């Protein structure tokens, strides 16, 4: 059986060495020394400043929205995991869907610009599969319309554009450190703010709005803190991150070479690095996609329709604007993510490519 994903587990001895430090100090949460160390090491590794570790990626998005006091609606993509939209709705912000670019599968800047109205306070693009958005275009749109640009960068750990971390774009970027991600802390996430003032306000908000230097409550807040136990896993995984990325990228490239005649993939942003987060393949139609999905399952290989359905068609997220997103709707019906994770071998990838080919040619 080959699952679609499998979390990376560092050597148990390495993890327990970090846990020993937790036990020695009996400091389990409230911005402990391991969380502080993880913050510093992540900022250095990723090439960013103002990184705030939090309990999970969804809370990372909600915290960013609160820091910027977003209201009204936010223009976003329907081709993403539901958390991008549900985090907005949870904060009383209406997701306003705009269609995606047919080549990159990311939110189309022109469609996003057209969707902005007087109630729009933010644009929330997603770096889908880790593929960077047209960040320059969104920067310009944000300035023109005086709206915040907040990136859901859950898939984009370690990705750079023109030598610069993709996390440095926008007013904020959010990461997920869920167990299925390239880098994880079992559960966790982070927000990276462009401005230090926004970061400092977020630090207060993540601890119930309490100024720890005085004990005074200075802002409305919530508890989004990462625990020391989760930070321990993050540090242990971060120790191995270069070999994790190297292996995943090698498997990604092997897939790309082997699948060329069987389907197509998003066009990767020029001058951008890859991180091997996902392996999407798009087929000619929904019928072929379903045939491949079912054939792989019969042979013990799990693939996933990721992302399906297009969120503008989900009943709870059908916005008042009745968004029409034909590109997203089409791609969501024809796209699968194939297995990709550190424990996967080159031989496994060859087998999966072979089985995809058999499924297509058997039904040709």
- CA-CA distance, 96 to 81, in Å (whole number)? 15
- Specify the residue for token string 């554009």: 161
Structure tokens, 36: 């502080």
Q: Specify whether 143 is catalytic.
A: no
Which of 39, 181, 225, 274 is an active site residue?
A: 181
Indicate the DSSP class of residue 74: E
Q: Measured over all CA atoms, what is the biggest interatomic distance in the chain, rounded to whole angstroms? A: 71
φ/ψ of 79, rounded to 5, equals -100, 80
- CA-CA distance, 199 to 313, in Å (whole number)? 35
Among candidate residues 201, 198, 82, the one with its CA nearest the CA of residue 149: 198
- CA-CA distance, 177 to 213, in Å (whole number)? 29
Indicate the DSSP class of residue 169: S
Give strand ranges (E) for 36-145: 51-54, 73-76, 94-97, 120-124
Q: Is 60 helix (H, G, I), strand (E, B) or coil?
A: helix
Structure tokens, 247: 């292996």
Give catalytic residue positions. 181
């Amino acid at each position: 059986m080959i699952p679609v994903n499998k979390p990376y587990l560092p050597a148990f001895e390495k993890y327990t060495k970090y846990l020993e430090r937790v036990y020695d100090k009996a400091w389990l949460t409230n911005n402990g020394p391991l969380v502080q160390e993880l913050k510093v090491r992540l900022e250095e590794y990723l090439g960013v400043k103002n990184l705030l570790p939090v309990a999970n990626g969804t809370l990372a998005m909600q915290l960013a929205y609160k820091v910027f006091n977003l209201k009204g609606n936010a223009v976003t993509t329907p081709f993403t995991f539901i958390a991008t939209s549900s985090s907005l709705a949870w904060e009383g912000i209406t997701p306003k869907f705009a269609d995606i670019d047919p080549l990159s599968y990311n939110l189309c800047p022109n469609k996003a610009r057209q969707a902005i109205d007087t109630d729009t306070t933010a644009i929330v693009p997603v770096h889908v599969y880790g593929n960077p958005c047209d960040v320059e275009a969104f920067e310009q749109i944000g300035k023109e319309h005086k709206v915040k640009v907040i990136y859901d960068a859950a898939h984009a750990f370690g990705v750079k554009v023109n030598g610069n971390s993709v996390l440095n774009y926008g007013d904020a970027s959010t990461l997920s450190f869920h167990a299925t991600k390239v880098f994880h802390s079992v559960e966790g996430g982070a927000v990276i703010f462009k401005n230090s003032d926004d970061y400092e306000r977020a630090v207060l908000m993540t601890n119930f709005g309490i100024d720890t230097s005085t004990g005074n409550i200075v802002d409305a807040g919530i508890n989004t803190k990462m625990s020391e136990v989760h930070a321990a896993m993050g540090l242990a995984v971060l120790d191995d991150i270069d070999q994790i990325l190297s292996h995943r990228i090698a498997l990604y490239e092997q897939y790309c070479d082997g699948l060329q005649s069987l389907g197509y993939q998003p066009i990767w942003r020029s001058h951008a690095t890859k991180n091997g987060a996902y392996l999407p393949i798009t087929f000619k139609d929904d019928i072929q996609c379903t045939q491949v999905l079912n054939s792989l399952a019969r042979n013990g290989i799990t693939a996933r329709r990721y992302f399906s359905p297009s969120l503008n068609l989900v009943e709870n997220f059908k916005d008042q604007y009745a968004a029409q997103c034909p590109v997203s709707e089409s791609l969501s019906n024809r796209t699968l993510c194939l297995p990709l994770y550190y424990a996967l071998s080159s031989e496994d990838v060859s087998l999966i490519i072979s089985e995809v080919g058999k499924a297509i040619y058997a039904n040709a």
